[in-house]
Structure 1
Amino acid sequence: MNIVVTGSIAYDYLMSFPGRFVEHLLPDQLHHISVSFLVDEMRRQRGGCAANIAYTLALLGERPRLMGTVGQDFGAYRSWLEAQGVDTSLTHDELDLFTASFFVNTDQDGNQIASFYTGAMTRARNLSFHDPRIGPVDLVVISPNDPEAMVKYAAECQALGLPYLYDPSQQIIRLSGDDLRAGLEGCALLVVNQYEFEMLHEKTGLSAEEIRAAPQQACVITLGPEGAHIWADGELHAIPPVPPTRLDEPTGVGDAFRAGLIKGLALGLDWGIAGRMGALAATYVLELPGPQSHRYTWDQFVARFRTQFDSFAFTTAFSAPLR
C-alpha cells in the first residue's frame, strides 16, 4: 500500500525530578515564578506522531513515506528510520532550525511541567501534495502538525482525490471549527480518542451522529484501556483491548493503534480484525518506554494476535504476504 504519513517528527526529552513540584512553589508568588529543578535522570528518544506511525507501519511490513520538515539535528534519526524501513525522501531539511522537540519534567507524583519547541515543524506548511515526487498515493495520514499545514493538506487531498485518515488530536485546540469541519467532512477515516471526539463536537457544532457519519469509510474512537469503537457501514464494531504483559508509559500508544488499523485495511481485512490489529500494535508500545522502542517481526505479531484472539477464529486472516 502506498502510504504517505504527515505530521510531527520530533525528539522527546524526558526528565525525572526526585521530589514534588508543589513543595517548591509558593502559592502567594505564582504571579512571578522563577524556579529550577535538579533532575536525576534524562533520556532523549525518537518521537513525533508521524514518525511513530511510520515506524510501526514499517514493522508491519509496509514501506511508508514520511512527509514533514526536520532540522539540522535530524541526520542520525533519518538514518535510523531508513534502516527500519521508513522512506524519508519526502522529509525536508530546514538547516537553520532544530527538529521539533518536546521537553517534559515529571515529579514523583506524576505531575509534569512541559514545553514544546516547534522548530522546523512550522515550515511543514511549505510542503505540498502537488509535488510531482509524490506520485500515486493509496492513503494519506494527516496527523498533528503545524496547523496551517494540516488545513492545507486536507484541502489538497480533497482537490486531488486522495483518500486520507484525519487525526487532528492534539491540534484540535489550535484549529478553528470551520477548519475542523472541512478536514472531517472530506476524510476517508477519522481517528480520535473519546476526549478529542467531545472536543470536535464542541468546536464544530456537529452532533455526535453527524461526526460519526462524516467520514467516507469509518469513524474510530479509541477508549484507552477499554479498547475502541469503530463506526462503519452503519454498524458499531466494539474492539477489545489487548492486556499488556507489563505497563510502562502510554506515549505513542495511539499512534501505534493507527498503524495497526491501517495495516489491516491494507490487507483488505474487515473492521473487526483491522481494529484488533490496532489494539495489539498499541499494546506493544504500552509495554516499553518510548514510542519507538518496540520491535517484532511480522510472524511474531501474527502469533501473538492468534493467541490473543484464538476464540475469534482468525486462522486465515493473515494469509496475505507480508508486503
Structure 2
Amino acid sequence: MRFLISGGAGFLGSHLIDSINGEIVIVDDFSTAKYFQAKSNIKVIREKIERFDTTEKYDVVIHLASRPSPEDYMQYPVETALSNSLGTYRMLEIARKSDAIFIYSSSSEIYGDAEIIPTPEDYWGKVNPIGMRSCYDESKRFSEALAMSYYREYGLDVRIQRPFNVYGPRLREDGSYGRVISRFIVQALRGENITIYGDGNQTRSFLYVSDWVEATLKMIYTNGIKGQVFNIGSDKETKIIDLARMILKITGSKSNIVFLPPREDDPRRRAADIKKAKELLKWEPKISLEEGLTRTINWFRSVIS
C-alpha cells in the first residue's frame, strides 16, 4: 500500500510511520518537527501542505499537519488556520483523485469548553469563533466539515479522529512548542519551577502515543467505518495540579509548583467518551497514565541536558 502523510515528521507522524508497512511519502515543512529520523522506505518532501500538489496516486491519505501547541498556534494563527483549511483541501483532493481512504486527525479542541463530560462524538461543541484559540479549534471544525462534504458529495472514504492530549517520547518540550506533559517533565528534571496556567483544577484526559498509533491503525484497516468520527482518548479525567504532582513524584524532583494567569478560553474539563471506538474499532487505551509518564520521563532523561 502507498501512504501519503502530511505532518509525518512531527510527534504523531514519527510514531505512526514506525508501525506502517508499505511505501510512505511524508509532506512536512519541518516547522515543528524535532525528533524525526528518516528511514529507507520513506520519501520526505519538504513543503507546506497548503502549497503541496501531486499527480501520484495513494491508497491511504492521512492529514496530520498542524501546530498543536496553544502557545505555538496562538503565535502563528494564520499558518495554523491555513494548514487546517487549504491544507485539508489539498489532501482531500489528492485522496479523491486517488480514490483513497482519507484519515483526518482533528482534535478534542473542537468541543471547546464542553458541557458534557466525558464528551461523546455527537456533542456539537462550545467554542469562541473569534477567540485566541479559534485559529486552531475552528479550523479543525472546518476541516471536519469539508471532509464530510467530500464524503457526501463524492463518496470519499473519509474517517475522522479526535485525539485527546496524546503524549510520549519525542513530544517537543522547548519554547512555544512545549505542551503540558513535556513542559512539566523537563522543568522537573532540570529542577525548575513547574508552571501551571490557572489554578490547576482544570482537567484533561491523557493518551499514551502507542495507544493512539493502535487506534489509528485500526481506523486505516477496519472495514465499514466510512464517514465515521471517533474520539481517540481516555475517559479518565486528570487535574493539571495532580499531573504536576505525579511527575514530581516519578522524577523525584524538588521543583516548586507556581501558578500563572489562566489562558484565554482554556477549557475547564476534558475527557473522552470512547464507547464508539470500543464498539466499532475494538479499541481502548492500554497504557495507564503512571506507566506512560514513566516511559516518557525515561526518554527525556536520555535526550535533555
**TM-score normalised by length of structure 2:** 0.35
Larger Rg: 1
Higher RCO structure (Cα 8 Å, ≥6 apart): 2
Larger strand proportion of the pair: 1
